[in-house]
Amino acid sequence: MALSILYSYRRCPYAMRARMAIWAANIQVEVREISLREKPAHLLQISPKGTVPVLQLPDGTVLEQSLDIMQWALAQNDPQGWLNAAPEAVNALITINDGDFKKALDRYKYPDRYPEHTQAFYREQGEQFLQRLEAALAQHDYLLGDKPSMADVAIFPFIRQFAAVDAEWFASSPYPKLRVWLEHWLESALFAEVMQKFTTYIG
Ligand SMILES: N[C@@H](CCC(=O)N[C@@H](CS)C(=O)NCC(=O)O)C(=O)O
């Protein structure tokens, strides 16, 4: 049987969340690790917007949003029950993550590109989301309950990036539950699998 093709980029948080769901669902795909500077022609042909991840199914269907890829994978096989949380609650958190938080993260990471404000300002903006997550994790081990859900998986790659901007700051920041939660995901066998080195596909 032909495999679906996943265009991916190892360090991209959107691609990470897609790979986490595909691996959790135990679905085999052909991973095509790309260079963002030299995108393969086939990727641009099936998805002209040129972002990753993109999944092409054997019937030609193209999924070009990481969340759609996660839903597609977990709809087939969801052994860990990541789709069991209330979709409204999942969407509410992911919307903030992919919106305001991602915006603050980009500015915190690259303050030189956004000289209107200081890096500390952008960090504080991002911290609004960290505070919300910390409050949720004070109630239960995962963002939406005692079991992991799609929200945890979709969000942790972005918190990983935020934490890495200034690891020393993060280590002593007032988000102890968030640190434990992040560590849990970073140390998981699943994360190790999706972060293996893939050879770059030239096309
Ligand atoms: N909304 C998209 C965002 C994907 C995205 O922005 N991916 C980045 C890499 S992390 C990308 O491919 N950027 C294109 C580029 O850098 O040329 C999704 O959820 O899949």
Q: Is 65 in the pocket of ligand 1 (CB under 6 A)?
A: yes
Cα–Cα distance measured from residue 58 to residue 9, given in angstroms and rounded to the nearest whole number: 21
- Percentage of residues in the chain having pLDDT higher than 70: 100
Q: Are 15 and 53 in contact (CB under 8 A)?
A: yes
Give 141's DSSP letter: S
pLDDT in tens, 20-64: 999 999 999 999 999 999 999 999 999 999 999 999 999 999 999
What average pLDDT score do residues 165-173 get?
98
Q: Are 55 and 29 in contact (CB under 8 A)?
A: yes
Inform me whether the pLDDT recorded for 91 exceeds 90.
Answer: yes
Taking the centre of ligand 1 as the mean of its atom positions, its distance from the CA of residue 191, in whole angstroms, is 19
What average pLDDT score do residues 79-92 get?
98
What pLDDT was estimated at residue 202?
Answer: 87
What average pLDDT score do residues 70-98 get?
98
Taking the centre of ligand 1 as the mean of its atom positions, its distance from the CA of residue 14, in whole angstroms, is 7
Taking the centre of ligand 1 as the mean of its atom positions, its distance from the CA of residue 53, in whole angstroms, is 7
pLDDT in tens, 61-83: 999 999 999 999 999 999 999 99
To test the pocket of ligand 1, the residue of 7, 11, 14 to mutate (highest count of ligand atoms within 8 Å of its CB) is 14
Cα–Cα distance measured from residue 67 to residue 65, given in angstroms and rounded to the nearest whole number: 5
List b or e across 80-103, with b for residues whose CB sees 16 or more CB atoms inside 10 angstroms: eebeebeeeebeebbebbbeebbe
Q: Are 66 and 21 in contact (CB under 8 A)?
A: no
Write down the domain spans for the chain: 4-79, 87-189
Q: Is the C-alpha dihedral spanning 180, 66, 26, 40 positive or negative?
A: negative
What pLDDT was estimated at residue 1?
Answer: 76
Please tell me the residue having the least CA distance from ligand 1 atom 12. Answer: 51
* Domain 87-189 -> CATH class: mainly alpha
Q: Is 55 in the pocket of ligand 1 (CB under 6 A)?
A: no
Q: ∠ at Cα 7 (201, 84), nearest 5°?
A: 145
Q: Which atom, in ligand 1's list, is nearest to the CA of 13?
A: 10
Taking the centre of ligand 1 as the mean of its atom positions, its distance from the CA of residue 66, in whole angstroms, is 9
Sheet of 29-33: strand order equals 29-33, 4-8, 54-56, 62-63
The CATH number given to 4-79 is 3.40.30.10
More confident residue, 203 or 175: 175
What pLDDT was estimated at residue 45?
Answer: 98
Please tell me the residue having the least CA distance from ligand 1 atom 6. Answer: 51
Which range among 1-5, 70-74, 131-135, 164-168 shows the weakest confidence by mean pLDDT?
A: 1-5
Q: Is 14 in the pocket of ligand 1 (CB under 6 A)?
A: yes
Q: Could you tell me the two tokens for 85?
A: 């949380």
